[in-house]
Amino acid sequence: MRRGWGGVHPEDVAMCLEVDTFPFVMAAARTDGHLVLRPVGPGRPGPGAAQSPA
């Protein structure tokens, strides 16, 4: 957000700073002018995986 990236919600930043909340990590990258998050590493959710309520 400090770098001026549009489309980043302040609550997303707070969630990103929570440690060990989920068994996977998300990598952020610019794709076609958009910030895209993708799960990476062991334990990442597969396609169609159920999300647990926050």
The model's pTM: 0.43
Continuous H helices in the chain: 10-16
Contact present, 16 and 5 (Cβ < 8 Å): no
C-alpha–C-alpha distance, residues 27 and 11, integer Å: 17
Mean pLDDT, rounded, of the chain: 73
The pLDDT tens digits of the residues spanning 20-35 come to 877 778 888 888 988 8
The pLDDT tens digits of the residues spanning 1-54 come to 666 667 777 787 787 788 887 777 888 888 898 888 888 877 666 655 544 444
Angle at 39 (CA atoms; ends 24, 15), nearest 5 degrees: 65
